[in-house]
Structure 1
Amino acid sequence: MASLTIKNQISSVFKGKKWRLHVIYWTLLAVVFYFQYKAALVAPKYPLAYTMEVSLSRFLTLILLCYSFLFFVMPLYRPKKLIYFWISLILLVFLADCLQVVFVKLILLQFPSLNPIPDTAFLSMLGKYIFALIALFSFFIAAFYFQDIYDRQREIQVLAKFKTEKIALESSFLKSQVNPHFLFNTLNNIYALSLKKSEQTAVIIERLESLLHYMLFECKADLVLLAQEFTFTNSYIALEKLRHRDDQCTVTMNVEGEVKDQYIAPLLLINFLENAFKHGTKASFGKSWINMDIKVSAGGLHFLLQNSKPLQVSLTQPISEYTGGIGLKNVKRRLEILYPGKHTLSITEKKDRFEVDLTLSF
Structure 2
Amino acid sequence: MNKIYYHLLFWMFISLYVFDYIASFYSFKESIIYSSFEVTILCAEFYINLFVLLPFVLIKKGKIAYTTALIILLSLGFSVYYFTGLNITLYDDDLLMSMISFLLNHSLYIFISYIVWFFNKYFTEKQLRLQLENEKLQTEMMLLKSQISPHFLFNALNNIYSLTLIKSDTAPKMLATLADILRYFLYEGDRKQTFLTSEIEIINKYLQIQKYRQIEGMNNINFNVSDDNSVKQVPPLLFITLVENVFKHGDIIENKNGFVNIDLGTANNKIEFTIANSFQFKGNNEGIGLKNLASQLKNLFGNNYQLKIEDSNSIYKVSLSFYGNKDNI
Calculate the TM-score normalised by the size of structure 2: 0.69
| Distance in structure 2 (CA, Å) of the matches to 1:6 and 1:190 | 61
| Distance in structure 2 (CA, Å) of the matches to 1:13 and 1:263 | 58
1:281–1:238 Cα change, 3 Å: same
Q: 1:154 aligns with which of 108, 111, 122?
A: 122
Aligned to 1:177: 145
1:301 Cα deviation after fit: 0.7
Aligned to 2:270: 300
1:240 Cα deviation after fit: 0.9
Residues 69-218 of structure 1 correspond to what in structure 2 (within 5 A)? Answer: 69-71=41-43, 90=77, 93-94=80-81, 98-99=85-86, 101-102=88-89, 131-159=99-127, 161-163=129-131, 165-178=133-146, 181-191=148-158, 194=161, 199=168, 200-218=170-188
Structure 1 residue ranges without an equivalent (≥5): 27-51, 55-60, 80-85, 106-124
Q: 1:10 aligns with which of 8, 11, 14?
A: 8
| Distance in structure 2 (CA, Å) of the matches to 1:164 and 1:213 | 29
SS in 2 for 1:288: coil
Matched, 1:358 2:320: yes
The residue type paired with residue 360 of structure 1 is F
The residue type paired with residue 69 of structure 1 is I
Larger Rg: 1
Instruction: Identify which range, 331-340 or 135-144, moves more after superposition.
Output: 135-144
| 1:215-263 C-alpha deviation (Å, 9 max, x unpaired) | 1123331211111111111111111111236865411111112236622
Residues 283-294 of structure 1 correspond to what in structure 2 (within 5 A)? Answer: 285-294=255-264
Matched, 1:338 2:325: no
Q: 2:310 aligns with which of 348, 356, 361?
A: 348
| Distance in structure 2 (CA, Å) of the matches to 1:6 and 1:72 | 16
Q: 1:222 aligns with which of 182, 192, 198?
A: 192
Residues 23-62 of structure 1 correspond to what in structure 2 (within 5 A)? Answer: none
1:304–1:205 Cα change, 3 Å: same
Matched, 1:256 2:254: no
SS in 2 for 1:236: helix
The residue type paired with residue 10 of structure 1 is L
1:276–1:176 Cα change, 3 Å: closer
1:347 Cα deviation after fit: 1.8
Matched, 1:68 2:66: no
Structure 2 residue ranges without an equivalent (≥5): 19-23, 27-32, 53-72, 325-329
1:11–1:209 Cα change, 3 Å: farther
Calculate the TM-score normalised by the size of structure 1: 0.63
